[in-house]
Structure 1
Amino acid sequence: MSLTIDPQVFAEDAVSEETRRLNAWILSTIEALPDTWSVSPAVIRDRRARGLGPFPMEPKCERAEVIEIPGPRGPVALRIIRPLAAARGVYLHLHGGGWTLNAADQQDGRLQRIADQAGLAVVSVDYRLAPEHPYPQGPDDCEAAALWLVREARALFGTDALAIGGESAGAHLSVVTLLRLRDRHGLLPFRAANLAAGCYDLALTPSARRFGTARLVLNTRDIEMFVRHFLLHGGDRADTDVSPIHADLRGLPRALFSVGTRDALLDDSLFMAARWSAAGNAADLAVYPGGVHVFQSFPSALAEACLARMDEFLADAMA
């Protein structure tokens, strides 16, 4: 595990022609769509579920199953994709979408890949979404799911080797969940954290503040709006339960931080990876030239390289 960063990855000539073409396509596609914030989050969710947004619509996994567990605010749905052979471990997945959008069934392709490539049972959490269910409801659901998994993993999946992770807001919720289990329950049950393009400082890091208006999946205004929805009923942006970059990070599992250089949340990963390592935890930082926010969602050589590294990281952590 290494935090060594090659400055060359930030250079313009490090960006491949394929990545340049993809970014131009993403920008033109999103600019042709209505302003994201001209409609309600519920409408945006419906459009994305029907494949009308910028993201490719992934086919649903035929072997996925959905169960419900008790949560502090009512039932929490979990979407489970098991590997074809005996599970080597269990991956608790928290989806992205600014704490406001998306659902547990909208990344089946990537989660089935983890099940098949890393040999893990994947449990994706359909946590409550803002603004209808603002902070702390989403994090509460994730905490409940993690505690359930700690109790039930051995009986249901034949293993108690656990990993956690997600992308964007899901990476944020993964770190918040790790901290809650450590601080509220005295538990350190996860061996690894797979953290892609997380938002760890809701007061906004420099890259988030300075990104501007370019509609490359996520821009400064989008982040501000997502935070506003998430903290609709209040919440201190410096609170470690809201912005985990301010937390004492000691005792947390090995982590892989993945981010692209054209991501508004670039600094969040750079800063959090450094703090993770400084706290004595194993950390690896993978920076991808020209990658936009959650570029892993768009088929490309860059996405394949990132996904393959994640698969390898998770498989190795469960060994």
Structure 2
Amino acid sequence: MDTIHLKKEDFGAEAVAADTRMINQAVIKALAAIPDRGSVPPAVIRKARLEGRGPFPLPPESRRARDAVIEGPHGPTPLRIYMPEAAPKGVYLHLHGGGWCIGSPRENDGANDRIVDRTGYAVVSVKYRLAPEHPHPQGPDDCEAAALWLVREAQARFGTSRFAIGGESAGACLAVATLVRLRDRHGLKPFAGAVLTAGCFDLRLTPSVRQWGTTPLVLNTEDITRFVAYYLSGGGSAEDPDVSPLLADLSGLPPAFFTVGTQDALLDDTLFMSARWLAAGNPAELLVMPGGCHVFVHFPGSAGSTANGRIDGFLNGL
């Protein structure tokens, strides 16, 4: 752990693998073909993605996934649970990405099946409430409720009290907020590790977000600005550490594995947060992949394979 080593060569064009370039070009082409993406309401985007009509393929439905519902502060909160064939070695609480506005556990079936297969963990993915219909703090409230449910029920349901937490993009933001809430509100530190992929940790917008521009490589500046506005439409503030966990007291949190690609508008968020994690006295490991786009771990190719292998190793080592 504690391996945050950056090389300037990793940020140069010559370090980008050929297959990574091809993936990036295909993503830009697919998204550039959608006119006025910002004018489509999140509810319409959600429906299209679950019907397989989004810009990215919907993975095959997991044969092992089972749906459950728990009670949360805003009503029933669905969970999607993926179980290994043998007794779980641990439980990974997964919080999906999507700018706090779109996305679902179902769209992560492939990635969550992979974690089960390669680590022996069970995965519990939270279908938290989404903005703008349910702005902050409803989403993180659901995630907090799911974490508390896991602490209470895991030994009886899964036969283990070995936990990890993680997510991608907005999900990584919610994962850190959940860790801080459990520590501060409940005196709990139940998670042995965190996997934080391409997180949006500062909703005031870091320099890499502000300077990215219009290139639609999964996300651009306009997309992130719009998602933040939806998430905070209930009166939340980007200055609130519960919203922007980069601003939170990070002391006493578990070891974390951070990964981000150099071609991600949210690059600075991970660079800044991984450094703050270490400065707060927590173990941290950082993998920066040359040319990787936003949440590149969900795309085929050498960059995703490398990062996912490191994630598996991190979870197996907890």
Query: TM-score surpassing 0.5?
Result: yes
What amino acid maps onto 1:301 in structure 2? S
Distance in 2 between residues matched to 1:132 and 1:34, nearest whole Å: 24
SS at match of 1:124: strand
Amino acid at match of 1:224: T
- Please give the alpha-carbon distance, in whole angstroms, between the structure 1 residues aligned to 2:299 and 2:250: 32
Mapped pair 1:86 → 2:79: no
1:117, 1:298 → 2: CA distance? Answer: 17
For 1:245-293, what per-residue CA distance to the aligned partner results, in whole angstroms no more than 9, with x for missing partners? 0111000000000100000000000000000001110000000000110
Contact 1:55 1:297 in 2 (8 A): no
Please name the residue that 2:136 is paired with.
135
Q: Structure 2 counterpart of 1:213, which letter? A: T
- Corresponding residue of 2:150: 149
Deviation at 1:35, TM superposition (A): 2.3
Q: What secondary structure does 1:75 align onto?
A: strand
Deviation at 1:56, TM superposition (A): 2.3
Q: Is the 8 A contact 1:104 1:126 kept in 2?
A: yes
User: Is the partner of 1:305 in helix, strand or coil?
Assistant: helix
| 1:1-319 pair list within 5 angstroms | 1=1, 2-317=3-318
One-letter amino acid of the counterpart of residue 57, structure 2: P
- SS of the residue aligned with 1:151? helix
Matches of 2:59 and 2:315, distance apart in 1: 22
Which has the higher mean CA deviation after the structures are superposed, 243-252 or 36-45?
36-45
Give how far 1:54 is off.
2.2
Residue aligned with 1:70, SS? strand
Shift, 1:295, TM fit: 1.2
SS in 1 for 2:264: coil
Unmatched segments (≥5 aa) in structure 1: none
Q: In 1, distance between residues paired with 2:283 and 2:36?
A: 41
Alpha-carbon separation, structure 2, partners of 1:106 and 1:21: 23
3-state secondary structure, aligned to 1:164 = strand
- Identity, % of aligned positions: 58
Residues 42-85 of structure 1 show CA distances to partners (whole Å, capped at 9, x for unaligned) of 11111111222222211111121111111000010010001121
Distance 1:9 1:52 in 2: 35
TM-score for both structures, normalised by structure 2: 0.98
Rounded to whole Å, the distance in 2 between the matches of 1:54 and 1:305 is 24
Q: Which amino acid aligns with 2:203?
A: L
User: What is the TM-score normalised by the length of structure 1?
Assistant: 0.98
| Number of equivalenced pairs | 317
RMSD in angstroms over aligned alpha carbons? 0.8
Deviation at 1:34, TM superposition (A): 2.9
Q: What is the DSSP-based 3-state SS (H/G/I as helix, E as strand, rest coil) of the residue aligned with 2:107?
A: coil
Q: Distance in 1 between matches of 2:155 and 2:303?
A: 36
CA distance in 2, matches of 1:5, 1:52: 38
Residue 5 (structure 1) shift: 1.3
**CA distance in structure 1 between the aligned counterparts of 2:185 and 2:37, rounded to whole angstroms:** 37
Could you tell me whether the CA contact under 8 Å between 1:56 and 1:297 is conserved in 2?
no
Local SS of the residue matching 1:198: coil
Deviation per residue, 1:165-198 (Å, 9 max, x gap): 0000000000000000000001000000000000
Aligned-partner residue type, residue 89 of structure 1: G
Deviation at 1:160, TM superposition (A): 0.3
SS at match of 2:147: helix
Say which SS state the counterpart of residue 106 (structure 2) adopts.
coil
CA distance in 1, matches of 2:247, 2:40: 33
Q: Match of 1:106, SS? A: helix
Query: Separation in 1 of the partners of 2:36 and 2:144?
Result: 33
* Alignment partners' CA distance in 2, 1:248 and 1:107: 30
